[in-house]
Structure 1
Amino acid sequence: MNKLHIDSITKSFGSQKILQDVCLSCETGNITALLGRIGSGKSTLLQIIFGTMKGDSQFIKYNEQVLTKQSDRRNKIAYLPQSPMFPKHIKIKELIPLFCNPENTRKLFSDDLLRPFLNRTVRNLSGGERKLAEVMTVIHSEAEFILLDQPYSGLSPIFTEKVMKMIKERSKEKGFIISDFDVQNLIEISDDIYLLHDGSLKRIKDLNELQRHYYLPESSIQVK
């Protein structure tokens, strides 16, 4: 079991403090939900963890190795951003091997949902098809920890269900930190739930906390 530990993450933009001493841990075999309102800093936190943004202060450790450079994260952390990540002019079948080993490449090539898109370039896919190809590729990458920023956004119900099952299956050997506004589906598969609110990260143990801080309506959702 491997562990990703994030500590003392602070980030400001001008006079606005977005993150204040944020701490978070995730182990392989664990799915962590990251909730928060628009503009609460979820994407900023994920980018700092991945290394494409520097925090004003930060401490990120993989097992006993402190990660200070982007290269330190290779094959350890993969990230699906909100914005499109695949070049528009390249076919999906040419992109997947850049992220996945031969075994997982073959697995994706034979997937019934993904197979119809393999010979098409990204510019010829719908937004939902592109997102499906991207999220499936990142999930099957070599990295042990997967950061997903709004993986369900733009997906049809059947695609969302497919991605949820895939995350659950891959979480047997990987750790996931996922941010999405589809709260019900995210909570359904998550082992731990955190709320980013006013720059601080709070672990959620009771549904009433989400209803009070996140304005989640009463429902049948059960927080683990």
Structure 2
Amino acid sequence: MSKLHVDSVTKSFDEKKLLKNIYISCETGKVVGLLGRNGTGKSILLKIIFGIVKGDSQFIRVDDKVLQHQIDRKGRISYLPQYSFLPKGIKIKKLISLFCTQENSDKLFKLELIKPFLNETSGNLSGGEKKIIEVLLIIFSDSKFILLDEPFNALSPKIISEIQKIIKEQLKEKGIIISDHRFQEVLDISDEVYMLSDGYLKQIKDLKELQQNNYLPKSI
């Protein structure tokens, strides 16, 4: 078992303290859900963990390796951003070979979810189809820990269900932190769920606690 340990993360913009002494951890074999309203800092937190944004303070470690630079994340942490990252003009089957190891490429080629797109380029795909490819490339990357920022956006319930199954299958070797506004899907797949509000993380057990913390209306 491997463990991702994130501690003492703070981040301010101008006079606003967005993240205040954040602690979160994830182990291989588990999914950790991250919920919160727009602007609370969920994406910033994931970017700090991945190393593309610097916190005012931070301590991030995978097992016994303290991650101080972007290169330290290689083979340890992969990140799905909200924006599309697929290069244009390259067929999906070629991208899979570029992004993934031979073993993981072979697994992806066998997935029914991706077979219709293998001979297409990203320029010929819809937003939802691109999202499917991007989510799968990151999930099957050669990293112990996967950070997914809005992976269900623009996807149908059927496709979301398929991706949830794939995530669960990959947990044999990986730990996953997932943030998405589709809270029910996050609750369904997560072993632990946290809500980011007013700069702090609070563990959430169910819908009732989300209502009590004003993330959801009381009528749901």
TM-score band w.r.t. shorter chain: over 0.9
The one-letter code of the counterpart of 1:137 is L
The one-letter code of the counterpart of 1:201 is L
Question: Which residue of structure 2 lines up, in the alignment, with residue 145 of structure 1?
Answer: 145
The one-letter code of the counterpart of 2:72 is D
Gaps of 5+ in 1: 220-224
Following superposition of structure 1 onto structure 2, how do residues 94-133 of structure 1 map, counting pairs within 5 Å? Answer: 94-133=94-133
Using the TM superposition, name which of 139-148 and 100-109 deviates more: 100-109
Runs of 4+ in 1 over 6 A off after TM superposition: none
Question: Which residue of structure 1 lines up, in the alignment, with residue 179 of structure 2?
Answer: 179
Using the TM superposition, name which of 131-140 and 110-119 deviates more: 110-119
Question: Which residue of structure 2 lines up, in the alignment, with residue 157 of structure 1?
Answer: 157
TM-score for the superposition, normalised by structure 1: 0.94
The one-letter code of the counterpart of 1:107 is K
Deviations 1:54-74 (A, max 9, x none): 001110011111100111110
SS in 1 for 2:113: coil
Question: Which residue of structure 1 lines up, in the alignment, with residue 37 of structure 2?
Answer: 37
- How big is the shift at 1:37? 0.2
- How big is the shift at 1:218? 5.7
- How big is the shift at 1:89? 2.4
- How big is the shift at 1:208? 2.4
Using the TM superposition, name which of 42-51 and 9-18 deviates more: 9-18
**Equivalent residues, number:** 219
SS in 1 for 2:138: helix
Deviations 1:30-67 (A, max 9, x none): 10000000111000000000001100111001111110
SS in 2 for 1:161: helix
TM-score for the superposition, normalised by structure 2: 0.96
Following superposition of structure 1 onto structure 2, how do residues 4-19 of structure 1 map, counting pairs within 5 Å? Answer: 4-19=4-19
Q: Distance in 2 between matches of 1:54 and 1:218?
A: 39
- How big is the shift at 1:217? 5.0
- How big is the shift at 1:87? 1.1
Q: Percent identity?
A: 55
SS in 1 for 2:79: strand
The one-letter code of the counterpart of 2:5 is H
- How big is the shift at 1:12? 1.0
- How big is the shift at 1:95? 1.1
The one-letter code of the counterpart of 1:96 is I
Deviations 1:93-133 (A, max 9, x none): 11112221112111211222211111111111001100000
Q: Distance in 2 between matches of 1:72 and 1:188?
A: 32
Question: Which residue of structure 2 lines up, in the alignment, with residue 222 of structure 1?
Answer: none
Using the TM superposition, name which of 74-83 and 206-215 deviates more: 206-215
Q: Residue 98 and residue 181 in structure 1: after superposition, are their counterparts in 2 closer, same or farther (change >3 A)?
A: same
Using the TM superposition, name which of 191-200 and 115-124 deviates more: 115-124
Q: Residue 140 and residue 216 in structure 1: after superposition, are their counterparts in 2 closer, same or farther (change >3 A)?
A: farther
Question: Which residue of structure 1 lines up, in the alignment, with residue 76 of structure 2?
Answer: 76
Question: Which residue of structure 2 lines up, in the alignment, with residue 215 of structure 1?
Answer: 216
Q: Distance in 1 between matches of 2:86 and 2:68?
A: 26
- How big is the shift at 1:182? 0.7
Q: Distance in 2 between matches of 1:58 and 1:216?
A: 34
Q: Distance in 2 between matches of 1:39 and 1:181?
A: 12
The one-letter code of the counterpart of 2:104 is N
